[in-house]
C-alpha cells in the first residue's frame, strides 16, 4: 500500500463473542472511518444472500485491501485454533495467505484480551507477531494512534536516511604524521631537543588535518564536513598516543610541557574564522576544526587525569588562547571558548538525514573512542570535569548577564548513577586537595557555596543537559556533589 493513498482500505476479522464485543468492533471501525480509512466490516458490507465464506476469502485475498485487522480475544483464539465457525474458515484463508506470501505485514493482530498470565490471546497462525494493544481504556488511545500510523505508513520512529560510506572504506589509505615516532622517543627519554621534536609533530599534525579539510558547498554541505572528520581517525589516534606520553613523562619544567598542545589548539582556532574564499556563506565552515579542537582538548584532559597530572591540568584550564572569531578578528578565549555550536553536524546534518540525535558531535566522539587510544568513559570524565571547572568559575564571578558554561555533550550517554572515578576518589583528603586545586577552592564549604551561586545563575544546571529527552545526566550526581560538600 502506498503511503500516499487517500483512503486506504482495511478489512476487520473478528469473532461475535458477545454483543458488547461486537459493539466495540463497530466503534473501532467507525473511528477508523472517521480518520479517512475505508473499513470493510461484515455488519456493513455482507448482504443477505451473499456467501459469507466467499465474502471473507475475497476480503483477505483482495489486493486493494491493504490491511486485515485481526481483533484477537479469547473466543477468536479458540475458534481459530479449532477451525470452528466463520472465524475458523477465515483463519484458514489467512494462514494460507500468511505463509504463502513474503509480505506478511498485511495481517495485523489487534489484541483485545489477555489471559490470566498476561499473554495475548493470539491464534496459532499469529503467534510471535508484533501486535497492537487496545485491551483497555488506558491503552485504547495509544493503540489507535499506532494503528493509524501503521495503516497510513507513517511510523512514529522514522528510519534515518542513508549517509555516504565512510571515507576510510572507499579510500583505505590514511593520513599519518611521520614525526610522531621521534617525538615519542624524545619524550620518553627526556632528550634536550624534546620540545622542538614535539613542535614538529604538532606542525605535521596540523598540516595533515588541513589536507583533509573540505569547504562546505551545496545543500548537503554537512556530508563533506562529516566525511572529512571521519577521515581524521588515524590522526586522532596518533594525537591520543602523543597526549598520553606527554602526561606520563612530564618534566620538572612544567611550564613548557603543554606548550606544543597549546600551540595545536591555537592552530585549530586560527580556522574558526571565515576561510580564505569568496562566495556563499555556510555556517558550518569551521565545524571541522571546531570538532577537532573539542576532541583533542578532551583527549589531553583525559590523559592528564589518567596520570594524576593535577598541576598541568590546572595550567590547562587557566590558559588563555588566541583564536579567530567569526569575523576573522583575533580574540582571546579560555577553554570554554572551544565549546562552540557545530552547525553542520548538530543542526543541518541532524535535520537533513532525520537522525533525531541530541548531538551528532557526541555520537562521533563515542564512535572514534577506543580503550587503546582514550576510552569514551575517559572522555566523558574529562567532559564533566571541564563543565565543573566552568561552573565553579561562574560561581565565583559577580558578573551579570547569562554566563557561559562548558556543556558536557557526552552526558547524553549517561546512565543512572553517572558518577566518575575522579570525583568518587575526591572524598579522600588527597583526592579532594587535587581536585580543589584546579577548581580554585579551599574548603568543602566554599565548594558548596560556589555550586549554589552557579546553580542560581544557570537555572539549576538544566542547560548542562543537551535536551529534556536525555534526562539521565544529572550534573550534581555526576560530580559527586554530596560527597565533595561533606566536611573533611
Q: In this predicted structure, what is the pLDDT of residue 56?
A: 76
Q: 210 vs 466, which has greater pLDDT?
A: 210
pLDDT per position as a tens digit, 272-325:
988 766 556 677 889 999 999 999 999 999 999 999 999 999 999 999 999 998
Helices (H), 398-474: 421-425, 429-439, 444-457
Cβ partners under 8 Å of residue 115, min gap 6: 74, 121
Torsion angle defined by CA atoms of residues 226, 228, 234 and 236, in that order, rounded to the nearest 10 degrees: -70
Kindly indicate the confidence band of residue 469, based on its pLDDT and cuts at 50, 70 and 90: very low
Question: How do the domains of the chain map onto residue ranges?
Answer: 9-151, 175-374, 398-488
Lowest-confidence pick of 167-176, 298-307, 313-322, 371-380 = 167-176
Kindly indicate the confidence band of residue 102, based on its pLDDT and cuts at 50, 70 and 90: very low
Q: In this predicted structure, what is the pLDDT of residue 63?
A: 83
pLDDT per position as a tens digit, 10-45:
999 888 889 999 999 999 999 899 899 999 998 998
> Global pTM?
0.76
pLDDT per position as a tens digit, 390-431:
999 998 876 666 678 999 999 888 876 678 999 999 989 999
Q: In this predicted structure, what is the pLDDT of residue 4?
A: 43
Q: In this predicted structure, what is the pLDDT of residue 138?
A: 80
pLDDT per position as a tens digit, 222-242:
999 999 999 999 999 999 999
User: 3-state DSSP call for residue 21?
Assistant: helix
Indicate whether 368 pLDDT > 90. yes
Say how far apart CA 374 and CA 378 lie, in whole Å.
6
What is the mean pLDDT of the segment spanning 445-465? 89
Say how far apart CA 289 and CA 127 lie, in whole Å.
53
Say how far apart CA 306 and CA 300 lie, in whole Å.
10
Burial of 15 (0-12, 13-18, 19+ CB in 10 A): buried
Q: What percent of the chain has pLDDT over 90?
A: 55
> What CATH class is the domain 9-151?
alpha beta
Q: Taking all residues of the chain, what is their mean pLDDT, rounded to a whole number?
A: 86
What is the mean pLDDT of the segment spanning 359-386? 94
pLDDT per position as a tens digit, 129-143:
889 999 888 888 889
Indicate whether 87 pLDDT > 60. no
Q: Given the C-alpha cell 555520537, which residue does it identify? A: 363
Indicate whether 107 pLDDT > 90. no
Distances (CA, A) of 471 to 79, 338, 416: 47, 24, 9
Cβ partners under 8 Å of residue 97, min gap 6: 60, 61, 106, 107
Say how far apart CA 263 and CA 260 lie, in whole Å.
5
Say how far apart CA 410 and CA 383 lie, in whole Å.
7
Kindly indicate the confidence band of residue 464, based on its pLDDT and cuts at 50, 70 and 90: confident
In the 8-state DSSP scheme, what is residue 412?
G
What is the mean pLDDT of the segment spanning 459-477? 73
Amino acid at each position: 500500500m502506498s503511503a500516499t493513498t487517500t483512503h486506504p482500505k482495511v478489512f476487520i476479522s473478528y469473532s461475535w463473542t458477545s454483543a458488547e464485543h461486537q459493539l466495540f468492533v463497530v466503534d473501532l471501525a467507525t473511528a477508523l472511518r472517521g480518520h479517512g480509512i475505508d473499513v470493510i466490516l461484515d455488519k456493513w458490507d455482507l448482504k443477505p444472500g451473499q456467501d459469507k465464506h466467499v465474502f471473507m476469502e475475497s476480503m483477505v485475498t483482495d489486493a486493494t485491501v491493504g490491511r486485515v485487522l485481526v481483533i484477537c480475544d479469547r473466543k477468536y483464539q479458540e475458534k481459530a485454533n479449532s477451525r470452528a465457525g466463520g472465524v475458523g474458515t477465515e483463519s484458514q484463508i489467512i494462514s494460507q495467505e500468511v505463509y504463502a506470501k513474503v509480505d506478511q505485514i498485511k495481517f495485523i493482530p489487534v489484541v483485545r484480551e489477555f489471559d490470566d498470565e498476561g499473554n495475548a490471546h493470539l491464534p496459532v497462525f499469529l503467534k510471535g507477531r508484533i501486535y497492537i494493544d487496545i485491551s483497555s481504556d488506558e491503552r485504547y488511545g495509544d493503540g489507535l494512534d499506532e494503528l493509524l500510523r501503521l495503516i497510513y505508513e507513517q511510523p512514529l520512529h522514522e528510519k534515518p536516511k542513508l549517509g555516504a560510506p565512510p571515507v576510510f572504506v572507499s579510500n583505505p589509505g590514511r593520513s599519518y604524521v611521520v614525526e610522531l615516532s621521534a617525538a615519542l622517543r624524545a619524550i620518553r627519554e627526556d632528550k634536550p631537543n624534546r620540545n622542538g621534536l614535539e613542535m614538529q609533530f604538532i606542525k605535521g599534525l596540523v598540516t595533515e588535518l588541513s589536507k583533509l579539510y573540505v569547504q562546505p558547498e551545496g545543500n548537503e554541505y554537512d556530508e563533506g564536513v562529516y566525511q572529512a572528520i571521519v577521515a581524521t581517525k588515524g590522526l586522532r589516534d596518533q594525537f591520543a598516543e602523543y597526549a598520553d606520553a606527554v602526561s606520563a613523562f612530564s618534566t620538572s619544567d612544567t611550564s613548557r610541557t603543554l606548550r606544543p598542545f597549546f600551540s595545536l589548539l591555537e592552530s585549530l582556532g586560527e580556522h574558526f574564522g571565515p576561510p580564505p574564499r569568496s562566495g556563499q556563506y555556510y555556517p558550518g565552515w569551521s565545524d571541522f576544526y571546531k570538532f577537532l579542537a573539542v576532541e583533542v582538548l578532551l583527549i589531553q584532559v583525559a590523559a592528564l587525569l589518567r596520570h594524576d597530572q593535577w598541576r598541568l591540568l590546572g595550567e590547562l584550564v587557566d590558559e588563555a588562547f588566541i583564536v579567530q572569531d567569526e569575523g576573522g578578528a583575533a580574540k582571546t578565549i579560555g577553554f570554554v571558548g572551544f565549546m562552540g555550536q557545530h552547525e553542520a553536524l548538530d543542526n543541518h546534518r541532524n535535520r537533513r538525514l532525520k537522525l533525531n540525535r541530541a548531538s551528532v558531535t557526541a555520537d562521533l566522539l563515542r564512535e572514534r573512542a577506543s580503550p587503546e587510544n582514550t576510552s569514551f568513559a575517559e572522555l566523558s570524565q574529562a567532559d564533566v570535569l571541564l563543565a565543573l571547572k566552568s561552573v565553579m568559575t561562574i560561581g565565583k564571578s559577580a558578573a551579570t548577564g547569562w554566563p557561559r558554561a562548558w556543556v558536557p555533550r557526552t552526558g547524553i550517554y549517561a546512565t543512572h548513577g553517572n558518577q566518575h572515578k575522579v570525583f568518587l576518589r575526591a572524598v579522600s583528603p588527597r583526592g579532594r586537595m587535587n581536585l580543589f586545586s584546579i577548581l580554585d577552592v579551599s574548603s568543602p564549604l566554599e565548594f558548596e557555596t560556589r555550586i549554589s551561586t552557579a546553580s542560581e545563575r544557570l537555572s539549576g544546571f538544566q542547560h548542562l543537559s543537551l535536551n529534556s529527552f536525555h534526562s539521565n545526566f544529572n550534573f550534581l550526581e555526576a560530580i559527586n556533589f554530596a560527597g565533595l560538600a561533606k566536611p573533611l
